[in-house]
Chains A and B, each alone.
Chain A
């Protein structure tokens, strides 16, 4: 076109030929949309009109499929060809507590691995999987498909792979920066067949920035690990497993003085004491790493030798995250270092710290934003170690609290109401009173008023888990005030379908609903028909649903995949439903349906 313009005399005035208007708009849009990061914003942008949809899809780099069964790999690859990072979430959370039989979606990841291997995601550098069964073959496929460009692999709560899979990744992905294996249930292997995947890393200096394998059940060769750390100058996060002893940890720390996150492994000297690690040496090790002020997160302590715990006091001033959830620390012990932890934002502890320990935490950790108090003995009959006293102390001391998970044996409405008033910024409130149907132990009343106050006073609440004795009234409150709620977890609560109706009709932003063992039936379920397409999933187990009700939902909402799990075999005439798990899906019901699942 330009040559024509030069040779001939300028034609009579007409607009210079330009790309079609659509294309201009697309180009501009793409340029602008590159700056849009937040997933919510991107979703909104893609819904404006077709050209915005096209532009947004072409530019989206961080792709999240938060229910892996909702969209197929092929569809995702077609829509987001430039995906650089992929986040996939699989099983529902209640599967963590053995409520879902294994093998429920055993091959959910296979098509994705195949798609990656077939270069459907050419720009892919980062893979983030949560609660997904992954096999060694899948990892091998990915490693071989993207050897040079693959940078990050994060496996959280995944299962099915073994040391062989990790070895594939380690040996093939030369540019690997992040390998995080967190809380995974790796496949059991014969001792002779375990591969030392740490030794599988190539001998050249690596780009590793984060290496975490705290949940790995076998010992890795310490020499290989030490050599790896030595040749990984960019290493910032290191999380070792419980087979790494205290002396070994100290050596690793000297090789990586700029660590920001440290998972400390066993935190116990080796048996036989030939390591020569003593208290002072450990303090020095921490002091050296603390000198750079880089260490902000400590976790591990998987087999804590209690006398060494105070060695961390040296770095406590800089700590923002402290995970003691595998260490039964007593109140006397926590006092020794918690006073310096005034910058602490995230604290995970066991209830062994007792109310006194929590009071100390409340006194010193004024910036605390996220607290988890997990039970040492997760049993309804266990001794009561923490109670409403601890909760009240935390609420008085840590006004900035955003998220709390609190396990206890009994609770009072007063303490919960206090928390709702003292901590209005709460976004996550998960209270687990371990005794089922436990009322307020002082007044004998149901816990309705407590939870009601939480939803009423904490207007930013997005996640709520209930427990204790609750009547329909609690859910009336939740429906009325829980307008920002996105995730709701209910167990052993409520009197009737009214409760479920309150939830489904009131919580307009609800996305994830998990219910177990509540007296809710079809009427309650059907009251949510208007909303189910807006939800990521609904889980109801041990309730009073019947086949008829579920069929009705499936009939009215064709895009919902309605799975009945552990249902009666075909020849049984009963109508009861054990587990209902339903979710919207663009690609219809899946094909790999195990025998205990029936899709309506």
Chain B
């Protein structure tokens, strides 16, 4: 792709320092096709900066393109020099604990505070800004320390206790849904909690029981239909029902 066939508004975008316009351009080009992006070396521009697209998938709505860090680095618009072995290409070091000083994780900074930028809104008219290498001038170790902490916090927002009632059992129990990784563990836990009642039920001849839950709208639903994460977020109460009632 020769310099002459560049979209005409490139120089205006970049000279006017409007970063979000630059990203509109990236957005635009990603929709066309990766290989139509400008090659690195044909941009003679007065202001040379190093940009690196974020690896956040929600920033771009290109449907066919698989957007992850590796592909984005192939399509990144770098206004640097040809053959520039920029710092982005260095292999990442695994980290023993909190963060590696040289981890190239500028792109993961969205994990923390600026939740909205990385957030669920799929409207991608304002994608997150491309991260510039080494800016702001904070050592990577410090940056990573807080990203790790924020990520940890996001993973554990506290216990999610729901009441569990079993038909015929005198007392209800409570379980923390976050303790379990899936339905099987939940079933095993409930088994353990209600062994006595289950044994009593068995004596009555009815071996079947079903686990149901009450969701946000108050409807009684059978456990196991939806993915676990969705289940956790919508379950308000659990109920172990005798097989005969479940049918």
Contacts and interface: CB of A to CB of B under 8 A. Distances in A.
Interface of A: 94, 96-102, 159, 183, 185, 188-189, 215, 217-218, 242-243, 302-303, 325-326, 328, 374-383, 407, 432, 434, 436-437, 491-492, 516-517, 519, 542-544, 566-569, 572, 574, 576, 578, 596
Contacts of B113: 376-377, 379, 382-383
B97 A217 contact: yes
A101 B85 contact: yes
B85 A407 contact: no
A491 B135 contact: yes
B95 interface: yes
Contacts of A99: 87, 133-134
Contacts of A96: 137, 139
A374 B81 CA distance: 32
A230 to B, nearest CB: 27
A381 B139 contact: no
B237 interface: no
A378 B101 contact: no
A149 B49 CA distance: 50
Nearest to A469: B17
Given A98-B87, A377-B112, A517-B49, A188 B128 contact: no
A375 B135 CA distance: 12
A327 B49 CA distance: 32
Nearest to B132: A436
A217 B144 CA distance: 13
Interface stretch (B4-12, B40-48, B170-178, B187-195): B40-48
Contacts of B137: 94, 96-97, 432, 491
B141 to A, nearest CB: 7
Contacts of B101: 159, 185
Contacts of A543: 48
A242 B100 CA distance: 14
A437 B47 CA distance: 12
Contacts of B158: none
Q: Which 8 A-B pairs have the closest CB atoms?
A: A97-B134, A185-B101, A217-B96, A378-B138, A377-B113, A434-B136, A98-B87, A99-B134
A267 to B, nearest CB: 13
Nearest to A542: B48
B27 interface: no
Interface in B43-67: 46-50
14 contacts: A96-B137, A97-B137, A101-B85, A215-B141, A326-B145, A375-B136, A377-B113, A378-B109, A378-B142, A379-B114, A383-B114, A407-B136, A407-B138, A517-B49
A194 B17 CA distance: 48
A326 B85 CA distance: 32
Question: What DSSP secondary structure best describes chain A's contact surface?
Answer: loop
Contacts of A328: 146, 149
B156 interface: no
B2 interface: no
B140 interface: yes
B135 A436 contact: yes
Interface of B: 17, 19, 41, 46-50, 80-87, 90, 93-98, 100-102, 104, 106, 109-110, 112-114, 117, 128-129, 131-143, 145-146, 149
Contact of B94 (A97, A102, A188): A188
B84 A377 contact: no
Contact of A379 (B48, B81, B83, B136): B136
A99 B86 CA distance: 8
Nearest to B101: A185
A578 B78 CA distance: 13
Contacts of A516: 134
A542 B80 CA distance: 8
B83 A572 contact: yes
Contacts of A302: 98, 145
Given A378-B109, A378-B143, A432 B82 contact: no
Contact of B82 (A159, A379, A407, A574): A574
A374 B139 CA distance: 11
B117 A381 contact: yes
A517 B48 contact: yes
Nearest to B97: A217
B82 A568 contact: yes
A572 B82 contact: yes
Given A188-B96, A218-B96, A542-B48, A379 B109 contact: yes
A380 B129 contact: yes
Contacts of B140: 97-98
B85 A519 contact: no
Given A436-B135, A542-B49, A544-B46, A576 B102 contact: no
A164 to B, nearest CB: 15
Contacts of B84: 566, 578
A543 B143 CA distance: 26
A217 B145 CA distance: 12
Contacts of A243: 97
A247 B94 CA distance: 29
Contacts of A218: 96-97
A436 B90 CA distance: 25
A432 B85 CA distance: 27
B237 to A, nearest CB: 30
A421 B132 CA distance: 34
Contacts of B98: 217, 242, 302
A376 B80 CA distance: 29
A574 B87 CA distance: 21
Nearest to B48: A542
B145 to A, nearest CB: 6
B138 to A, nearest CB: 4
A122 B100 CA distance: 37
Contact of A98 (B41, B96, B104, B110): B104
Contacts of A183: 139, 141
A519 B145 CA distance: 34
B112 A578 contact: no
A567 B80 CA distance: 10
Contacts of A436: 17, 19, 132, 135
A519 B97 CA distance: 40
Contacts of B129: 380-381
A98 B133 contact: yes
Given A183-B141, A578-B80, A378 B136 contact: yes
B102 A98 contact: yes
Contacts of B41: 572, 574
B10 to A, nearest CB: 18
A485 B40 CA distance: 38
Contact of B85 (A188, A189, A491, A566): A566
Contact of B17 (A159, A437, A578): A437
B246 to A, nearest CB: 40
Nearest to A405: B137
Contacts of B49: 492, 517, 542
B97 A380 contact: no
Contacts of A375: 136, 138
A381 B114 contact: yes
Contacts of A217: 95-98
Contacts of B143: 378
Contacts of A377: 109, 112-114, 146
Most B CB within 10 A of own CB, among A98, A183, A432 = A98
Contacts of A519: 46-47
A185 B102 contact: yes
Contacts of B48: 517, 542-544, 576
Given A217-B96, A381-B128, A437-B17, A376 B146 contact: yes
Given A378-B143, A578-B81, A185 B90 contact: no
